Amino acid sequence: MGALKDKKIKKSREATREALKEIWEAIKPWKRKVFFGLFLFLITSAISASIPYIYGSVTDMVLRGGKMDTVVWLLGMWLVVSFLRGFFSYKASIIANDVAVLSSNKFIVDYFAYVIKLPMTFHKDKKVGSVSQKIVNAADRGLFDLVENVLFSLLPNLTLFIISLCFLFYTQKNLALVLVLSSLAYIAITLILTRPIIKKEKKNRRIWERVYGFFFDALHNIHNVKLSSNEKYEIGRLQKNFDRATEQNRKLFYLWNKLSFWQGVTFDAGFVAVFAAGVMMMSKGTLTVGQLLMFVGYTSLLTSPLAGLGKQYRTFRQAVVNVGRAMDLKKEKVEDLISGRKMEIKGDFNFEDVSFAYPKKKEFVLKGVSFSVRKGEVVALVGKSGVGKTTLMDLAGKYYLPQVGRVEIDGVDLKKINLQSLREQMAVVPQEVMLFNDTVLNNIRYAKPKASEKEVKEAAKMANAHEFIMKFSKGYRQVVGERGIKLSTGQKQRIAIARAILRNPRILILDEATSALDSESEKLIQEALKKLVEGRTTFIIAHRLSTIQNADKIIVLENGKIAEMGRHEDLMKNPDGIYRNFWELQTARERV
């Protein structure tokens, strides 16, 4: 048991060190501001520590009948130091807020940059809300709070505490000792009662990340929610998660309140002890009225650093937990966009005995797939849902690598080709087009951010999108809504085609791009696609076989293997063939 406990303590300390390193990396660019801000806060603390001494001295001087000139001078000094304290505190607070905002913003940008480079395997497994909540919590309730409430408070508070104690020991050692003992009791209670809270805090963060994951998931899929009339279901599901999270929050709040209660009791007991001891000493004539007032003032003054210490320790532990949760994201390996051979792709493909299984899955989705494609050919992939059509295209785009076999482009193993270079020369028109909540212009331009408006319009015309775009009240500056919700399916796909045209790729992937369209939209899209595929190696995944009759090669997949391969005319000659069976079923359905 002892060894296990030691191991847990060691692991916790290591996690704390790693979190502090991560926090320092975010703060480091503004370290000069940090040091200057701390310097101003230290001056403020030193000035604050002098004030009780001043008014204690004034009181004794007046009671003893001292010179009024000296009293007036001390009162003037009190006024000056109070002004200086306020001025330096004001300047230091501005610097503290600046550093907190800048460092937390840097943290979010750095983590966004990391997460966006993670492979598709990560993004398919994680909820958007959960990931974003981890990062935002670490920045706002971790880094920001730590910088503003700990970094710029801990050292000044310690300075104030030490200077105040020095004044007290100089004036009356016995009374100062009473204050020190009550302070040590406060610190001990804070440390003891905070330990169980940290474990609860970690669990609480996980639960709230799950809640926000459900929240964002429902909003991202609002179209499906509406289509299924599942508003009540989603509200109920979210409410259950909120109830669970609220219950956990309540338990955590109880522990924090328990800590605050005992801290308050310790404070009050210390204050009463100091005051009672001071009154007794004053009755014996060993303490003056001014000294008693000074001690009361220093006791109140020390209350702030000690209260701050408790709050700072809580903030520190919460920050470590929140940053630690975000750091879990960096345990995932980012895609390598830098290494590998940069090359101008012609478009020859060769799949050689390729077998593939998704991570954490034992069953192979693709099994021994082999075929070749020449530059400029149009290849259609046909088969039931789940047979590996999209997976095959994911391998072509190097989103995954096969466990067995190899994929070659222009005779070069895909593993050796620079990933960024490859994808810059590819374009995908998916079945479900995801658009940004931005203008039509920027959504098309996303494929080529530096493209001129003239280039965007030319691409839109080729995609048969210009006409419907110009019918919008704001034309190309019309905002399309979240995920393009203001546009029809056909309109979104023509925007996607325009985007692909603007990119001018060597390799084109049409992922079931015409499977959910009315005949008029399909006709317009087919016209646009004819212009797009010309001279480019093109892969088409389509359910409507009428759209792929002219393909140079049709590959029929079944159970992860190539069952049939050839041109439309050749495959139709086999009366028992899978492709012919699909064709006849679709033709009969269309007649009906």
Output the pLDDT for position 221: 67
Strand partners, 564: 556
Average pLDDT value for residue range 284-301: 77
Residue 450 contacts residue 504 (beta carbons within 8 Å): no
Chain position carrying tokens 């009755």: 283
Calculated CA dihedral for residues 462, 468, 473, 475, nearest 10 degrees: -10
Of 102-116, 256-270, 342-356, 459-473, which gets the smallest average pLDDT? Answer: 256-270
Read off the pLDDT of residues 154-195 as tens digits, 9 standing for 90 and up: 777 777 778 777 877 877 787 778 878 887 888 788 778 777
Residue 45 contacts residue 156 (beta carbons within 8 Å): yes
Structure tokens at 20: 């502090």
Output the pLDDT for position 6: 60
Confidence class for position 404, pLDDT limits 50, 70, 90: very high
208: exposed, middle or buried (Cβ count in 10 Å: 0-12, 13-18, 19+): buried
Output the pLDDT for position 240: 81
pLDDT tops 80 at residue 378 = yes
Output the pLDDT for position 174: 79
477: exposed, middle or buried (Cβ count in 10 Å: 0-12, 13-18, 19+): middle
Read off the pLDDT of residues 349-377 as tens digits, 9 standing for 90 and up: 999 999 999 877 888 999 999 999 999 89
Residue 102 contacts residue 297 (beta carbons within 8 Å): no
Confidence class for position 52, pLDDT limits 50, 70, 90: confident
Nearest to 553 by CA among 543, 566, 542: 566
Nearest to 493 by CA among 517, 467, 519: 517
From residue 180, alpha-carbon distances to 48, 268, 274 in Å are: 19, 14, 10
DSSP 8-state class, residue 511: E
Read off the pLDDT of residues 34-43 as tens digits, 9 standing for 90 and up: 899 888 888 8
Compute how many other C-beta atoms are within 10 angstroms of the C-beta atom of residue 353: 12
Output the pLDDT for position 371: 92
Please calculate the CA angle 242-248-251 and round it to the nearest 5 degrees.
140
Average pLDDT value for residue range 55-76: 74
Confidence class for position 82, pLDDT limits 50, 70, 90: confident
Phi, psi of 352 (to 5 degrees): -120, 105
The C-alpha atoms of residue 186 and residue 188 are separated, in whole angstroms, by 6
Output the pLDDT for position 4: 56
The SS3 call for residue 296 is helix
Chain position carrying tokens 């492709």: 579
The C-alpha atoms of residue 171 and residue 34 are separated, in whole angstroms, by 35
Domains of the chain: 19-331 (1.20.1560.10), 341-425+553-592 (3.40.50.300)
Nearest to 109 by CA among 131, 82, 136: 136
The SS3 call for residue 576 is coil
- Taking the whole predicted model, whether its pTM rises above 0.85 is answered as no
Output the pLDDT for position 470: 92
- The per-residue pLDDT of the chain, averaged, comes to 81
Output the pLDDT for position 350: 93
Structure tokens at 504: 């001018």
Residue 524 contacts residue 490 (beta carbons within 8 Å): yes
Residue 228 contacts residue 273 (beta carbons within 8 Å): no
Burial 516-548 (b: 16+ CB within 10 A, else e): ebeeebbebbeebbeebbeebbbbbbbbebebb
Output the pLDDT for position 310: 66
Across 139-148, 428-437, 454-463, the highest mean pLDDT is recorded for 454-463
The C-alpha atoms of residue 532 and residue 542 are separated, in whole angstroms, by 16
Output the pLDDT for position 8: 64
